[in-house]
Amino acid sequence: MNISVVVPLLNEAESLPELCNWIARVMDQNKFSYEIIFVDDGSTDDSWKVITSLSATYPSVRGVKFRRNYGKSAALNVAFEAALGDVVITMDADLQDSPDEIPDLYKMLLEGNYDLISGWKKKRYDPISKTIPTKLFNGVTRRISGIQLHDFNCGLKAYKKEVVKSIEVYGEMHRYIPVIAKWAGFPKIGEKAVQHQERKYGTSKFGLERFINGFLDLMTITFVSKFGKRPMHFFGLMGSLVFFVGFIAAASLGLEKLYHVYHHLPARLLSQRPSFYIALTTMVIGTMLFLAGFIGELISRNSPIRNNYLIERKIGVS
């Protein structure tokens, strides 16, 4: 199979028939073998009924329905596990991503020997309350990750099959799939300017809390990627440095006290000097950091319940 089109959605019943017909038309025109995987992320409207109806009309349509809303990352993760195509295309269900971009993304991915192609919405039709935080987010992510993409969170992306089968997406990590892919050993990441369309149905699911949570997740993925399997390299080093500073400070105070005693000079008790307690506290903190690194080495970072979501129903997905 050439392409798996993955569409996570939440309350997008109105747009699904038009989107499905559009995708099918593009695929048939380009003679691609394909499948469309809709993941209903706990919709409260008629989205699942529409998906069920579409699966009866289009043999290529498959579907997964979550019992409740788990988020876009969980929806992508379960779709990645089910995808059969050699190339996986992800896109949003609100018709703001154009299926007409699929052939060029497919061609660019294979001919350019990329692992991943990320869309770039150069001209956006989103409100300023969304575009400004997005620009800030993209700037910070470029700086931290070293990946020079203009639009990390664009829903329209193309992946080789081995990429989606090798990564795990959870929390709000869907924003950082290029970062996750890079750290998983897939550094060939490209970018393509894509058409962005005005929302035709429904309302945006964007909220300020998603931007805040996304930034915290960026810190998480950066730390875990670098030190997840070797926490002692971070905590051990930090702990050793902090302990050393505290030890030198305490030793200096002790030597100063001995000097005054030896020369019969007046000297305050160490227990009466605030700097002594600061030095002891610094040594304790350093020891705790070192032990945190040691304990971290004993604990696997791969939690078995990280993607603990309940699937209510499926169509054509084993």
Question: In the block, which residue shows the tokens 């003679």?
Answer: 31
Question: In the block, which residue shows the tokens 């081995």?
Answer: 162
The pLDDT value given to residue 306: 52
Which pLDDT tens digit goes with each residue over 98-147? 999 999 999 999 999 999 999 998 877 666 666 677 777 778 778 878 88
Residue 313 CB burial class (10 angstroms; 0-12, 13-18, ≥19):
middle
The pLDDT value given to residue 212: 67
Task: Find the radius of gyration of the CA atoms of the chain.
Answer: 26
- For 39, the 3-state DSSP assignment is strand
The pLDDT value given to residue 117: 96
Taking a C-beta distance cutoff of 8 angstroms, is the pair 53, 16 a contact?
no
Question: In the block, which residue shows the tokens 């995808």?
Answer: 83
Taking a C-beta distance cutoff of 8 angstroms, is the pair 5, 32 a contact?
no
The pLDDT value given to residue 90: 97
The pLDDT value given to residue 146: 83
Here the tokens at position 88 are: 């996986």
Here the tokens at position 167 are: 């990564």
Q: What's the CA gap between 74 and 174, in Å, rounded?
A: 9
Kindly state the DSSP code that residue 13 receives in the 8-state scheme: T
Q: Which residues of the chain have pLDDT under 50?
A: 305
The single-letter code of the amino acid at 88 is: V
Taking a C-beta distance cutoff of 8 angstroms, is the pair 234, 242 a contact?
no
Strands (E), the chain: 3-9, 34-40, 61-66, 87-90, 116-120, 157-160, 189-193, 311-315
**Length of the chain, in residues:** 318
- Sheet-wide strand order for 157-160: 189-193, 116-120, 157-160, 87-90, 3-9, 34-40, 61-66, 311-315
- For 129, the 3-state DSSP assignment is helix
Q: Which of 113, 16, 119, 104 is nearest to 58 (CA)?
A: 16
Here the tokens at position 5 are: 């089109």
For 60-111, give the DSSP string.
Answer: TEEEEEESS---HHHHHHHHHHH--SSEEEE--SSS-B-GGGHHHHHHHHHH
Kindly state the DSSP code that residue 149 receives in the 8-state scheme: -
The pLDDT value given to residue 189: 95
Taking a C-beta distance cutoff of 8 angstroms, is the pair 278, 247 a contact?
no
How many other C-beta atoms can be found within 10 angstroms of the C-beta atom of residue 64? 24
Q: What's the CA gap between 161 and 178, in Å, rounded?
A: 14
The pLDDT value given to residue 126: 64
Q: What's the CA gap between 29 and 60, in Å, rounded?
A: 15
